[in-house]
Each structure stands twice: as structure tokens, then as C-alpha cells.
Chain A
């Protein structure tokens, strides 16, 4: 995994990367009336693969559309290959976008669609470029059938072929693995890796941890429009597990157990309310290893120990609160 893509690791308030950074957001926000879709985001990306990770509705598509010059930032600056993305059609020589929406005319064949993209890019030999792109995404067999007959995964691949046909140095993909079976996904991961190693800057969005883990050099975690975390995936994993946790415990004697817990260094709070014992711990591992022993030493039987904030939502919210 190349650490290159995070030449400028974003921290709150830090200026964005230098002129060579391919994709730059500086203090970018986007709102629709009272609704803030993206809130003061700053990052700079270069060659390599970066994953934009976050739940649906977090603002990933908004960010990608601003980078693709399809949406104007309400505040801040968006730069692609050193130029503004908005109102600048020339930037599309260097950028390929794979949108999430279906968005392909059903009556065109796959080949015709990719060749059309090649012609609109003013390529010297559109047919040859289209052939290469189609071979790259492994769609030769179906290339001469209308796109309307394709499965969802095939439509994804034809959109990717059209986005690659002019060999852009920057590739933006919105949920690219949607609808792909495991084999296609592996193929696509290998393809994107190859392109990134050749020096391209690739940014893809996903709400699935495993996809990002497998492919990305670096991760940008987005939650409710904010940048929750940025960095190497292992760092982010660690942040996510080494955070404070809350557990609900049912036992034969909650009050006695609560008193016993408060002696443990990992525990920083207990609450007994409505016949529920809630325990807040600073560190996951220590607590889980000790909970059974503590209960036994206190002479209390444990019936249930359940985490209450294990959803991705609460993880992200925690990460945001840290910044």
C-alpha cells in the first residue's frame, strides 16, 4: 500500500496541498437553503487510490460532483489538476467521472456508448480507444448489445470504460462496486490498483468498509457533511476501536456490580437508571477482558453484556467530535 496518496494529511485548519496535488478541497462547504450537505472540508490528494467512506447521505456524492465540476461550492475552493473545476470544461481532458446514477441511453450498444465518449473527447482514433477501454473492463463479449440489456454490474463497467477512454490522470467513481459480483469486484480492484500505481489519482466513494480497506491507500471518512477522519486505513481502524464505548449490562445485582466496576481503571462511568445498568469505558479491550472476572469476584451473575453504540453511525459521530 503506497502512502504517497496522503502527501498532505489533512488536519483541521491546515492549508491544502501544493500545486502538484491532483484533487484539492479548501474549506469547502455546500448548502441548499438551510440544509448543509458538506461542511468545511479540506483535503489534498495525489497519485494513488483514496476511499471516500461514509454512510448514505453523508455528502460523498456532493463532494464528488463538486470535484467533477457539476456542482458549485457554496464556500471554499475546489481545484482539479491545478485548475478550478467549476465552469471549466477543459478540465475534463484530465478527469473521468463514473456517476452513480444509471444515466446511459438504453438504445446504444456498449461499444457505441464508449466510442461516443471517445469522439466527444476529440480522440484521434475513437474506435481503437474504445476497443482498448472495453477490453480493460472485460466487456468485449457484450459490447455489441444494447446497454438496455445489460445487468447492473455490466452497466457499471461500461460507464467505467467510457470514463477511461481518454486515459485521464484523475478518476472519480461514485459507489463503483454497486451491483458487482465478487469476481467482477476483484477484477475492478486490480484494475484501479494498476492505474493508481501508474501515477493516476483515483477517488472512489463507498459505504462499505471492506471495499475501502481492500483497495484504498488512504481513507477520508465523511459523516453528516463533515470530515470525520483522514489517513491510513489501519490508523482509522484503531481510532474506531480505541474509542470510548458504552455497554448495557444485565445481572443478578446491578448495584453491586456497578460499584465493582468503578474500581476498574478502564471504566470511567456507571449509571443505574430505569433498572438498567449502563457502563462507560475508556477502552474496549481492557473492559471486555475483565468484565467476567469482575462479576465473579463480586459474586454477581452476568446475564447480558451488550454494546449500545456499535453502529457505524456512532463511530463516525465520535470521530467527528474528536476534530
Chain B
């Protein structure tokens, strides 16, 4: 009951007109690309790599960042969270509801985007669509893991948005994968690994079968950190 109430309020808060339109546009970029390719008639040779480079590397972390930091962090910033914090509700319940809503919204936008883009990008008559669907499952899991991390960041620090952006663009976008062993700490690698489990042709993956475990650990850890930090969150007045 309380959970549903928090979900409802968060949903209303996240789906403001401007944000929704912006996220729809972002999620539409892979689809647009697919349309252009299809219009050209050729299709791409490696659908998995294209989806990885476009959706997983760029669009997914950005959409997750927007929803993830808005779900709780922005309420803490503008003071509206005080009404939620001064209620007899466990902090973990609040965090779970916020991650649930933001993660589901992210997945709801990006899973269809991945599927449609994959269908459009594939060469006509190229056979089974396992690669596309494998990537879509990876994106589904990745949505929740990214959102959990960004929610935790936005509770732990007031600079959550900047740090999250840095993480998404610099770490995930460039560094992870370059430094040996860093793949273990990269959500993008988890997504690729999960896709590779389902369809080996989807993508090369260094983490391989461990991806699911790593993703689960990251999700649980981020949720726990967010809950603990929320429990000791201090509201400093201007006095």
C-alpha cells in the first residue's frame, strides 16, 4: 500500500511533460537510425555491435541517469523529500520504490527501442533475430542496474548528476574495456555479457557467463548503499 503510494507519486513526478518528450526523443534515436538504414536498403553486418555502440553505450546510461537522479535526488535537493522522510516508512522501501519506477520507465522506453532498431538494422532475410532480442534482454537488466547506481549516487552526494554523467561518458564510454580487469566494474559489460549468454553471436564479451552475477551484485549493492545513505540523510536548514 505504502509502496504503491510512493510508486504513484514518483511516476507523476518523473513523467513531467518536458522530461517525457526528451526521453522519448532520446529513445527514438536508435529507431531513427534503423529507419535510415532500412531506407538505404542495405542493413548492417553486425547488428549486435551497432546496438551496443548506440543504445548500450550512449542512450541507455543517459536515460537511466535522467530518471535515476530525478527519482529521489532532485526531491532531496528541492526539499520536497522532507514530506516523505518524516513518515514512518522504512528507507529501504522508499529506495526500492524509486528504483523500481525509474528502472521500469527506462526499460519501457529502451527495450522497445532496441527491438525496433534491431529489426530495422538487420539485413533483410538475414535469419533469426536472436541477437536483437538478446540485446533487448541485456538492456532490460542494464536499465535497473544503471538506475540503482544513479539513485545511490544522487542520495550520497548533491553532485550526483555530474558524477553520474562522468561515469556514463568517461568510464563507461571510454575507459572501461581499456584497462584490464575494469570490465568487472562496467554495467555496459554486464549488458553485453548477458546478451552474449543468450546469443553468442550478439557480441564479444569479456565477463561472459559471470555477467548475470555481477549485475545482481551491483544491483543489490547500489540499493543497499542508497538505503543506508538515505537513513542517515541530513537536512540542513538555512536557519
Interface residue ranges, A against B (CB under 8 Å): 32, 37, 56-62, 64-65, 68-72, 87, 89-93, 95-97, 99-105, 107, 116-117, 119-122, 162, 174
* A100 CA to B78 CA, complexed, in Å: 13
Q: Is the CB of B79 within 8 A of A99?
A: yes
- In the assembled complex, 13 residue pairs joining A and B whose CB atoms fall closer than 8 Å, in A order, are A32-B236, A68-B86, A69-B86, A70-B82, A71-B236, A89-B88, A89-B90, A101-B82, A105-B80, A107-B12, A120-B89, A121-B88, A122-B1
Interface residue ranges, B against A (CB under 8 Å): 1-2, 5-6, 9, 12-13, 78-80, 82-91, 231-232, 234-239
Q: Is the CB of A92 within 8 A of B88?
A: yes
* A71 CA to B238 CA, complexed, in Å: 13
What is the number of contacts between chain A and chain B, taking CB atoms within 8 Å? 86
Question: Assuming A65-B237, A120-B84, what are 19 further A-B pairs, CB within 8 angstroms?
Answer: A57-B239, A60-B239, A61-B238, A61-B239, A65-B236, A72-B234, A89-B90, A92-B87, A92-B88, A99-B82, A102-B79, A103-B80, A117-B87, A119-B1, A120-B5, A120-B87, A121-B87, A121-B88, A122-B88
> A205: shortest Cβ distance to chain B, in Å?
10
In the complex with contacts A89-B87, A103-B80, A65-B235 CB distance below 8 A: yes
Contacting residues, chain B, for A105 (C-beta < 8 A):
9, 13, 80
In the complex with contacts A62-B239, A65-B235, A65-B237, A104-B80 CB distance below 8 A: yes
Contacting residues, chain A, for B2 (C-beta < 8 A):
119-120, 122
Contacting residues, chain B, for A58 (C-beta < 8 A):
239
* A260 CA to B12 CA, complexed, in Å: 77
Contacting residues, chain B, for A60 (C-beta < 8 A):
239
Contacting residues, chain B, for A72 (C-beta < 8 A):
232, 234
* A69 CA to B83 CA, complexed, in Å: 12
In the complex with contacts A101-B79, A103-B79, A104-B80, A87-B231 CB distance below 8 A: yes
Q: Is the CB of B83 within 8 A of A70?
A: no
Nearest CB to that of A56 among chain B residues?
B239
Q: Is the CB of A103 within 8 A of B234?
A: no
Contacting residues, chain B, for A103 (C-beta < 8 A):
78-80, 82-83
6 shortest A-B CB distances, which residue pairs?
A61-B237, A103-B79, A70-B235, A120-B87, A61-B239, A101-B79
* A174 CA to B78 CA, complexed, in Å: 17
Q: Which of A95, A102, A120, A121 has the most chain B CB atoms inside 10 A of its CB?
A: A120
A100 partner, pick from B87, B91, B237, beta carbons under 8 A: B237
Contacting residues, chain B, for A102 (C-beta < 8 A):
79
Contacting residues, chain A, for B85 (C-beta < 8 A):
70
* A103 CA to B77 CA, complexed, in Å: 10
> B126: shortest Cβ distance to chain A, in Å?
48
In the complex with contacts A105-B13, A122-B1, A90-B88 CB distance below 8 A: yes
Contacting residues, chain B, for A162 (C-beta < 8 A):
83
* A99 CA to B79 CA, complexed, in Å: 9
Contacting residues, chain A, for B234 (C-beta < 8 A):
70-72
Nearest CB to that of A113 among chain B residues?
B83
* A77 CA to B231 CA, complexed, in Å: 18
In the complex with contacts A93-B88, A103-B83, A116-B9 CB distance below 8 A: yes
A70 partner, pick from B86, B87, B88, B89, beta carbons under 8 A: B86
Q: Is the CB of A62 within 8 A of B237?
A: yes
* A90 CA to B89 CA, complexed, in Å: 7
* A266 CA to B1 CA, complexed, in Å: 70
Q: Is the CB of A89 within 8 A of B89?
A: yes
* A89 CA to B227 CA, complexed, in Å: 13
* A229 CA to B232 CA, complexed, in Å: 32
> B71: shortest Cβ distance to chain A, in Å?
14
Q: Is the CB of B82 within 8 A of A97?
A: yes
* A32 CA to B83 CA, complexed, in Å: 24
Contacting residues, chain A, for B88 (C-beta < 8 A):
89-93, 121-122
Contacting residues, chain A, for B86 (C-beta < 8 A):
68-70, 92, 95-97
Q: Is the CB of A71 within 8 A of B235?
A: yes
* A103 CA to B78 CA, complexed, in Å: 7
